[in-house]
Structure 1
Amino acid sequence: MTTTPVPPIAKKVPTERNHHGETFIDHYEWLRQKESAEVLEHLRAENAYTEAVTAAQAPLREAIFSEIKHRTVETDLSVPARRGAWWYFSRTSEGQQYPVYCRVPVSDPSSWEPPQVEPGKPLPGEVTYFDTNAEAETHPFYSLGGLSTDREGSVLAYSEDTSGDEHYTLRFRDLTTGENLPEVIDNVHGGPILEPTGRRAYYMVADSAWRPYRLYQHTVGTSPDQDRLLLEITDEQLWTGMWLSADRLELVIYSGNSEYNETRLLDVTDPEAEPVLLIGADRRLLHAVEPLELDGERLLLITHNQHGPNNALSLTSASALTNQPAEAPLSLGRTLLLHEDTVKLDESVTVTASEILVSARINTVESVYRLSLDTVREVRDGGQGVPTSSLPGLPFEEELFTCAVTSAEYDAPVFRVVYTSWMTPPRIYDVPHDDGASPAAPILRRETPVNDVDLQDYCAVRVWAPAPDGAQIPVTVMHHRSVRPDGTNPLVVYGYGSYEVSMDPQFGIARLSLLDRGIVFAVAHVRGGGELGRAWYEAGKKLQKVNTFTDFIAATDHLVSLGWGDPERVAAMGGSAGGLLMGAVANMAPEKYRAIVAQVPFVDNLTSILDPDLPLSALEWEEWGNPIEDPEVYRYMKSYSPYENVRETEYPAIAAVTSLHDTRVLYVEPAKWVQRLREHQRGESPIVLKTEMDGGHGGASGRYEEWKDRAWDYAFLAWWLGAHVKRS
């Protein structure tokens, strides 16, 4: 005799929240006490309940995991990339969770032909300089924040997170001996940057809200107590990051949010240099700066929204910016690339000694375009700027793809891009720089292999779904070629729709397991993302955020009307801000979905944004509005907050998946949400919470654990859609 599992019931402890004359009683806020033994026991009880409820899905999970594992070439490698006197690459081996980082000396300085690496066969002179598996061996979780080497390849700076909370430890390694240096710097944010000589490293430290706000300079070989504070950003709405200029002479320091930022430059060749402010946050300009050396003159390329929301590119100099009166309108010099309503110019460009590489999005597709230095000279000397759409792009034939620069050494004769599509595994190309003659064709260096699959068995098409207000929503539909839009198919709809993040074409081995079971997998490119330019993003944020949710529901309805999904066999999936989307549509249209997977879901968003002391909350005001100061924003957010709008209804099967140490979306949000959902569930479908007790925002670490997580999510959906069996 079997017994029906009983879900854990959290106790109720009323907590009042008072804002703008409204009181909200939260009975589950006590679950925020992460160190409480009672809270941890509750989370473990939730995991046990989830395991019991989904026990019948275990064979399906194992099947999907095995398919992912089998199709992935486990013993694999990357294409060597040249930096200084070394070729750097990585290897992965069957049975190992993490990559091993290797290098070989450059034998012919005049050649940029990468050495031919074979799986399992070391090259002459090959050295392993960082074995992630060995570093991770004694930790339940392991994630690298970054690896940085000097020009000669003699010093390595790296940061590691061993808990999942994104608090990194910075270490240094002498690559001539393989031994770590004695200095250790705790609580670093992200990865370090070594300047070319390897004498100095730069790193960020976060405040209590986990906002990177202090920039330090460390002299390698000295005590961290002597580190020099270069910059402290006190504005709680600014997030600070940094990168080296293309010629590695200056550190570009960015402090900003989704609506404006400020930029500084630091001369890394001078150990006593101070950051120089180029454009302050008071200018309310969204921009990015890249230094450019042209004909012996130090100039700046500035991508900015001064001329329109989709950005333009201008040419100026540091002195021209710093010498402007603060009260005068900001002049950004001469315009190189004009603003276009139908082309979104990405914030950053890639500078080389031969040409400028521009990333731009045209009709949802992001690719690389080439801006010649001769055109830059013409504009510098008084000529007119040109539209980005007039620039030559790279010759790829698929309709829907993604192409991005992965490396472009400043003086190299080639640059490297990665190309992928929904059904094309990532390809690495080296592209010769344009020498003024006919452009040389990209050189294919590698296509990621996939075992035992004919990718011609699958296809991806684009459809457009009408939104309630008439907007046309792009939707990508992926399916096995044997599937027809006949109204009988199980359908999974995926969405995100925040922060101007685009769901660009990207190949996924795991997704094939759903397609093989006859499931149609659709990506709804809803407003709040960046697929159709800045206006598409702005129409899905702040006081227009509900467009994100209604777009997703409209996309679902349209797919069903076209026959891509059986209305009784539709599921939804999204993570983080896409988890907010899942929570919202669960409340707004629960009858349309059979199952929902919400990964690290941002479902108690109003509570979080109302507390500026929580990680990242103040930074979020530019995305959602400030409900602390603005009663209209408060009421609007309250109208769609998933946690606060749970209602008496028949909810679908819902799985909330989270991680205990996530610093971006705290575990407490789905933990509270699940309790309220169960209270108001009037149907028979289960609502479960699965917490990774050793993971962070991305879940558990290691590729096998990642595959297991993906198999769990996909099996949950396939089970509830009745799509257990692969099609013949």
Structure 2
Amino acid sequence: MLAAAICTSLSFARPGAHLPKPPEAAIARMSDTLFSDIRSDDYRWLRQREDPEVIRYLNSENQYAETVMAPTRALQETLYQEMRGRIKETDLTVPEKMGSYFYYYRTEQGRQYSLFCRKKDRRAAGEEIVFDENAAAHGHQYFDIGSYRISPDHKMLAYTLDTTGSEYYSLHIKHIAKGRVLADSIARVDNSLEWGNDAKTLFYLTLDESHRPYRLYRHVLGTSQSGDDLLYQEDDPKYSLELFKTRSRKYIVLHISSKSTAEERYIEADKPRSGLKILSPRRPGIEYYLEHQGGYFYVLTNQNAVNFKLLRSSTQDGGVWQEVIAPSDSVLLEGVDAFKDFMAVYERRNGLKNIRIIDSKNGTEHYVEFPEPDYSFWPSRNWEYDSYKLRFSYTSFVTPRTVYDYDVRKRAKETLKRQEVLGGYNQDDYRCERIFARAGDGVLIPVSLVYKKGLATDGKSPLVLEGYGAYGASSNSYFSSARLSLLDRGFIYAIAHVRGGGEMGRRWYDQGKLLNKKNSFTDFIACAEYLISQKYSSPDKLVITGGSAGGLLMGAVANMRPDLFKGVVANVPFVDVINTMLDPSIPLTTAEYEEWGNPGDPAYYFYMKSYSPYDNVKRQNYPNMLITAGLNDPRVGFWEPAKWTAKLRALKTDNNLLLLKTNMAAGHGGLTGRFDYLKEEAFEYAFILGLFGIRK
């Protein structure tokens, strides 16, 4: 009888009428006073992972979610089979040349993970399996390779591995020909590492207690870790370290950065036992990013250039910088890849990325042409410095991932591989749009949409609206074969490119951070209202989704305009803003003062308190909500979504669904196996479809 009642409530989109009693988290009265302001935190006890009551509560929420979703199990299985059925399970990536080998990844029918392989000739037989992730993942519920690095002589593979989701990686080295993992294992490292050109020296980063990469070490194969050289330690908790090798293979670069300031140090890769040199000392608010070509260092910098400019200086004289690309108010320079005879500069104009090709010999320039009005791309590894081809992957809402080689001399693209979508997918059956919603201050906010052709814009279509809007990260349009399960059932899918992201330039980011953060929320609401006014959907058909910092967006707008949305999906949401940012022991906190502000300052404290989702839950009706968490998540502690759920349960005045699903064996990104991930996606889609009575 209970299952039937639940099924009925889901089918007729009247959730809650006959649901089992949800879990109740105990209230332990606690409060804090700061700047004469008293702030209650009655669910702080949920942070204590070692407390059996905390685990019991999380398990009870998981059981409740499973019980509520039980009527959708057949739908979940249908969705899973649809999603999996579109994947070509036995497949391989386009081989990429590195030195005397071609490297690629291969997947096999029924296996969750990839095989990392190589050949001497891409068309010849004689495949060599460098690393079998399936074998290594055996016995682990969670398995993530952070990075692979092949030694310059192609004899060794260095890799980082995480089997808990904590993002504390371990470093291992495998002798490829012998198939043996060496004893040179190092724990609690970041996933960033590089080889010296002698193929014996390995550089790696270690993490502090707050999960910050802060030390650079040098390890020599065959020696004890205890004898590794500490080359650099960053004591300012706002700064983190990152390691990379220039494509020219001349330099190993240590990138030291906060959210607003950067510094580059480097070692000559041919002299891996030498010391670090500094390119330019850090200056507050100045960012720069190093690249190398021939006799020059190139840097992208925001010094006197909000959207960045490109400079170069001789590797010999240093300090005398020449302007290569001047700054622009309308074009953001996002990155640069240097090859022997050309440079690829990645720009963003009007929200879309472009590639500018510069001939390093004669200075001539041209742009790579793209066929669609809304798209995204990302460069491949492009290991070969002495090449006249640039490889990149291209996609859009309707175009599956397509790998191209772009010949800079012929100015022509060659299609190397297009993602095969099984089941008869035809991109001509779908329509993409890019529209603009006007925010309250008059700013136009881009919105990207995709839906099946023939869909009437009469306000009756269910619509999923995605948002993020933080860190200057751009939410690009991308193809998802799983998303077809929504589109083919009459859904519209949209992305709101709100301020706080980087889609429209650096000022777009600045206008959605710190004391401007609320622009992200009001932008998103404006996008939702515009979609409704233009008859794409209606409040009783609109579901919103976002994860991590996008989960903050979901929580804020749910508090501000709960009447505007039918449902909310918040994945690993950052919702306990004040408590997290007041605790420097939590990973990422101090490093993120430049993103959110330091609540030790009263101006930031009261501003953050005014939007923090956990602090602003009130007695009102809320939409149907699915909230997810990862027990081992180092970025957003599991207790944030748990506390938020508990407070919502205590205060909300409706009978709508509120589900908390905590993955007890994963971290920030959820499960790692390609099929396990699809099961999570199917669960989420079944929740959304169930709100509209769709069970098939």
Fold-level match, TM-score > 0.5? yes
Q: Could you tell me whether the CA contact under 8 Å between 1:490 and 1:723 is conserved in 2? A: no
SS of equivalent to 2:275 = coil
Alignment of 1:49 onto 2:55: no
- How far apart, CA to CA, are the structure 2 residues paired with 1:592 and 1:723? 21
- How far apart, CA to CA, are the structure 2 residues paired with 1:444 and 1:397? 14
Q: Which residue of 2 aligns with 1:78?
A: 93
Q: Which residue of 1 aligns with 2:183?
A: 182
Alignment of 1:397 onto 2:368: no
Q: Which residue of 2 aligns with 1:416?
A: 391
5 Å matches for 1:564-583? 564-583=536-555
Q: What's the CA shift string for 1:328-357, capped at 9, x where partnerless? A: xxxx611100111111101x3111111011
5 Å matches for 1:65-214? 65-106=80-121, 114-115=122-123, 124-214=125-215
Q: Could you tell me whether the CA contact under 8 Å between 1:403 and 1:420 is conserved in 2? A: yes
5 Å matches for 1:222-233? 222-233=223-234
Report the residue type matching 2:559 in the other structure.
Answer: N
* 1:538 CA drift (Å): 0.6
Unaligned residue ranges in structure 1 (runs of 5+): 107-113, 116-122, 323-331, 377-389
SS of equivalent to 1:90 = strand
* 1:193 CA drift (Å): 1.6
Q: Which residue of 2 aligns with 1:343?
A: 331
Q: Could you tell me whether the CA contact under 8 Å between 2:568 and 2:626 is conserved in 1? A: yes
- How far apart, CA to CA, are the structure 2 residues paired with 1:358 and 1:233? 30
* 1:280 CA drift (Å): 2.0
- How far apart, CA to CA, are the structure 2 residues paired with 1:318 and 1:214? 26
Q: Could you tell me whether the CA contact under 8 Å between 1:85 and 1:152 is conserved in 2? A: no
Q: Could you tell me whether the CA contact under 8 Å between 1:570 and 1:721 is conserved in 2? A: no
Report the residue type matching 1:152 in the other structure.
Answer: D
* 1:68 CA drift (Å): 0.7
Q: Which residue of 2 aligns with 1:36?
A: 51
Q: Which residue of 2 aligns with 1:684?
A: 655
- How far apart, CA to CA, are the structure 2 residues paired with 1:492 and 1:431? 35
* 1:523 CA drift (Å): 0.5
- How far apart, CA to CA, are the structure 2 residues paired with 1:353 and 1:162? 39
Alignment of 1:431 onto 2:406: yes
Alignment of 1:655 onto 2:642: no
* 1:440 CA drift (Å): 4.0
- How far apart, CA to CA, are the structure 2 residues paired with 1:163 and 1:478? 36
* 1:413 CA drift (Å): 3.6
- How far apart, CA to CA, are the structure 2 residues paired with 1:464 and 1:482? 22
Report the residue type matching 1:623 in the other structure.
Answer: E
What CA RMSD, in Å, does the superposition of the two structures yield over aligned residues?
1.5
Alignment of 1:597 onto 2:584: no
* 1:518 CA drift (Å): 0.6
Q: Which residue of 1 aligns with 2:241?
A: 240
Describe the shift of the 1:283–1:495 C-alpha distance in structure 2 as closer, same or farther (beyond 3 A): closer
5 Å matches for 1:604-683? 604-628=576-600, 630-683=601-654
Report the residue type matching 1:496 in the other structure.
Answer: Y
The range that moved more, 553-562 or 715-724, is 715-724
Alignment of 1:317 onto 2:314: yes
Report the residue type matching 1:520 in the other structure.
Answer: I
5 Å matches for 1:547-566? 547-566=519-538
Q: Which residue of 1 aligns with 2:357?
A: 370
* 1:199 CA drift (Å): 0.6
* 1:585 CA drift (Å): 0.6
Q: What's the CA shift string for 1:247-274, capped at 9, x where partnerless? A: 1121111111221111111122223311
- How far apart, CA to CA, are the structure 1 residues paired with 2:464 and 2:341? 46
The range that moved more, 272-281 or 24-33, is 272-281
Q: Could you tell me whether the CA contact under 8 Å between 2:192 and 2:243 is conserved in 1? A: no
Q: What's the CA shift string for 1:87-137, capped at 9, x where partnerless? A: 11111112111111111113xxxxxxx53xxxxxxx511011100000000
The range that moved more, 413-422 or 592-601, is 413-422
- How far apart, CA to CA, are the structure 1 residues paired with 2:420 and 2:531? 32
* 1:200 CA drift (Å): 1.0
Percent identity over the alignment? 36
* 1:471 CA drift (Å): 0.5
SS of equivalent to 2:482 = helix
The range that moved more, 135-144 or 267-276, is 267-276
Q: Could you tell me whether the CA contact under 8 Å between 2:636 and 2:668 is conserved in 1? A: yes
Q: Which residue of 2 aligns with 1:266?
A: 267
* 1:694 CA drift (Å): 0.5
Q: Could you tell me whether the CA contact under 8 Å between 1:570 and 1:592 is conserved in 2? A: yes
Describe the shift of the 1:317–1:18 C-alpha distance in structure 2 as closer, same or farther (beyond 3 A): farther
* 1:723 CA drift (Å): 4.2
5 Å matches for 1:281-360? 281-293=282-294, 298-318=295-315, 320-321=317-318, 333-346=321-334, 348-360=335-347
* 1:16 CA drift (Å): 2.6
Q: What's the CA shift string for 1:213-270, capped at 9, x where partnerless? A: 0011111122111111110000111111010011112111111122111111112222
Q: Could you tell me whether the CA contact under 8 Å between 2:642 and 2:660 is conserved in 1? A: yes
Q: Which residue of 2 aligns with 1:497?
A: 469
Correspondence for 2:27 among 12, 22, 35: 12
Report the residue type matching 1:255 in the other structure.
Answer: I
Q: What's the CA shift string for 1:549-580, capped at 9, x where partnerless? A: 01111100100111100332111100000000
SS of equivalent to 2:512 = coil
Q: Which residue of 1 aligns with 2:10?
A: none
Q: What's the CA shift string for 1:494-547, capped at 9, x where partnerless? A: 100000111112111111111111111111000000110001111100001001
Q: Which residue of 1 aligns with 2:676?
A: 705
Q: What's the CA shift string for 1:11-33, capped at 9, x where partnerless? A: 12223322222121211111111
The range that moved more, 482-491 or 576-585, is 482-491
- How far apart, CA to CA, are the structure 2 residues paired with 1:724 and 1:400? 32
Q: Which residue of 1 aligns with 2:12?
A: none
Q: Could you tell me whether the CA contact under 8 Å between 1:211 and 1:615 is conserved in 2? A: yes
Correspondence for 2:422 among 451, 462, 469: 451
Q: Could you tell me whether the CA contact under 8 Å between 1:263 and 1:289 is conserved in 2? A: yes
TM-score by length of 1: 0.91
- How far apart, CA to CA, are the structure 1 residues paired with 2:540 and 2:185? 57
* 1:724 CA drift (Å): 4.1
Correspondence for 2:440 among 468, 474, 496: 468
Report the residue type matching 2:406 in the other structure.
Answer: V
Alignment of 1:481 onto 2:453: yes
- How far apart, CA to CA, are the structure 2 residues paired with 1:393 and 1:61? 45
* 1:157 CA drift (Å): 0.2
- How far apart, CA to CA, are the structure 2 residues paired with 1:510 and 1:587? 30
- How far apart, CA to CA, are the structure 1 residues paired with 2:290 and 2:539? 49
Aligned residues: 679
Alignment of 1:257 onto 2:286: no
* 1:420 CA drift (Å): 1.0
Q: What's the CA shift string for 1:590-616, capped at 9, x where partnerless? A: 011111000000010111011111111
- How far apart, CA to CA, are the structure 2 residues paired with 1:542 and 1:269? 43
Q: Which residue of 2 aligns with 1:385?
A: none
Correspondence for 2:686 among 695, 703, 715: 715
Q: Could you tell me whether the CA contact under 8 Å between 2:473 and 2:501 is conserved in 1? A: yes
Q: Which residue of 2 aligns with 1:118?
A: none
Report the residue type matching 1:554 in the other structure.
Answer: A
SS of equivalent to 2:78 = helix
Q: Which residue of 1 aligns with 2:15?
A: none
- How far apart, CA to CA, are the structure 1 residues paired with 2:314 and 2:74? 62
Q: Could you tell me whether the CA contact under 8 Å between 2:474 and 2:497 is conserved in 1? A: yes
